């Protein structure tokens, strides 16, 4: 990979304090990101969050003799394959971030060593006037597209309502489940309301389009654990399906709303890059 690509997708997890801690990352210059570049003075700290201990969704420590992970393959029900290809492990069997150095060893708060797979639903509709006509951006002359955004409880940043793919779970199930939990507060719904909502969302989510599959420039990434995702766009062209459902924040979401899409957006991790792809596919304002 070129230095330009490194800077583009491996920026938010370098040269910063690790999220919600006081742990400072080792400074990694742009030209020292690649593992193929000599960096003898590289000596990052190690951080493994105590919240991972004893969790069924988290790997044991690699130093645990009973833990024998199978890198780059399906390991039981845990998918340890990377969407971006083969990754290496060091002499102590710690997987190495395929993009390069991050300034911190360990797992941070991520449950899996190596790739941690997520799924991000991008639910969109056209912004409309009271008479149902499309709102057109005066400057670009393109119609304005909106997407469902949630405000994360942990960082306060706006993001897509995605989440982790459970072991053995189909990505389509993850996408539907996470949207319902975070944007519709399905965990607090009664059985009758939940059944109706689930049918509407499941039917709607059968018509998605993949817009991204790969590495995520996530602030939680480390040298030995990193986020990857599949992002799908689900577009409500008439605004009469999901577009009329009352949004209600739930689970890991603090707030939820329909957000106008434009280049001024500030979103968590690489989510703005995914939104830009969707806007351009729909020939919408950006």
Q: What is the mean pLDDT of residues 151-156?
A: 91
pLDDT score, position 84: 92
pLDDT tens per residue across span 97-143: 999 999 999 999 999 999 999 999 999 999 999 888 999 999 999 99
The more confident residue out of 132 and 26 is: 26
187: confidence class by pLDDT, cuts 50, 70, 90: confident
H-run or E-run covering 256: strand 253-260
Q: Rounded to two decimals, what is the model's pTM? A: 0.89
Angle at which helix 171-183 crosses helix 191-204, to 10 degrees, equals: 130
Q: What does the mean pLDDT of the chain come to?
A: 92
Q: What is the mean pLDDT of residues 208-232?
A: 95
Two structure tokens written together for 69? 């992970």
Cβ contact 215:12 at 8 Å: no
pLDDT score, position 72: 98
Spatial distance between the Cα atoms of 278 and 259, rounded to a whole number of angstroms: 14
Q: What is the mean pLDDT of residues 75-82?
A: 96
Q: Where are the domains of the chain?
A: 118-217+230-281
The more confident residue out of 264 and 2 is: 264
The top-level CATH class assigned to 118-217+230-281 is alpha beta
Tell me how many degrees the CA angle 130-131-135 measures, rounded to the nearest 5.
70
Ramachandran area for residue 77 (φ above 0: left; ψ -120 to 50: alpha; else beta): alpha
Asked whether residue 3 carries a pLDDT value surpassing 60, the answer given is no
Spatial distance between the Cα atoms of 157 and 79, rounded to a whole number of angstroms: 28
- Cα 249 to Cα 77, 170, 186, 236, 256: the distances in Å are 30, 24, 9, 20, 5
CB atoms within 10 A of CB 151: 17
Q: What is the mean pLDDT of residues 60-88?
A: 95
pLDDT score, position 1: 41
245: confidence class by pLDDT, cuts 50, 70, 90: confident
pLDDT score, position 8: 56
Asked whether residue 15 carries a pLDDT value surpassing 90, the answer given is no
Scan for tokens 């209600």, then name that residue.
248
User: Which residues neighbour 64 within 8 Å (Cβ) at sequence distance 6 or greater?
Assistant: none
277: confidence class by pLDDT, cuts 50, 70, 90: very high
Asked whether residue 207 carries a pLDDT value surpassing 90, the answer given is no
244 secondary structure, DSSP code: G
């Amino acid at each position: 990979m070129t230095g330009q690509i490194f800077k583009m997708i491996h920026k938010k997890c370098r040269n910063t304090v690790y999220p919600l801690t006081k742990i400072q990352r080792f400074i990694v210059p742009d030209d020292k990101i690649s593992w193929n570049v000599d960096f003898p003075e590289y000596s990052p700290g190690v951080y493994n969050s105590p919240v991972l201990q004893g969790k069924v969704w988290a790997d044991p420590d690699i130093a645990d003799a009973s833990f024998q992970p199978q890198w780059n393959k399906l390991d039981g029900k845990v998918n340890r394959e990377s969407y971006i290809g083969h990754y290496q492990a060091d002499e102590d069997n710690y997987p190495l971030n395929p993009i390069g150095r991050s300034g911190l060893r360990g797992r941070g708060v991520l449950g899996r060593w190596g790739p941690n797979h997520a799924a991000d639903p991008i639910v969109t509709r056209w912004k409309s006037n009271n008479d149902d006509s499309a709102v057109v951006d005066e400057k670009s002359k393109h119609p304005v597209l909106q997407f469902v955004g949630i405000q994360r409880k942990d960082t306060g940043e706006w993001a897509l309502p995605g989440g982790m793919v459970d072991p053995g779970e189909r990505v389509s199930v993850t996408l539907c489940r996470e949207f319902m939990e975070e944007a519709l507060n399905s965990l607090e719904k009664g059985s009758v309301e939940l059944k109706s909502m689930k049918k509407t969302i499941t039917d709607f989510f059968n018509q998605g389009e993949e817009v991204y599959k790969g590495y995520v420039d996530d602030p939680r990434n480390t040298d030995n654990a990193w986020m990857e995702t599949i992002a799908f766009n689900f577009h409500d062209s008439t605004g009469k399906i999901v577009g009329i459902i009352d949004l209600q924040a739930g689970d890991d979401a603090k707030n939820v709303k329909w957000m106008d899409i434009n280049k001024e957006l500030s979103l968590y991790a690489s989510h703005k890059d995914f939104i830009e792809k969707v806007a351009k596919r729909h020939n919408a304002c950006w």
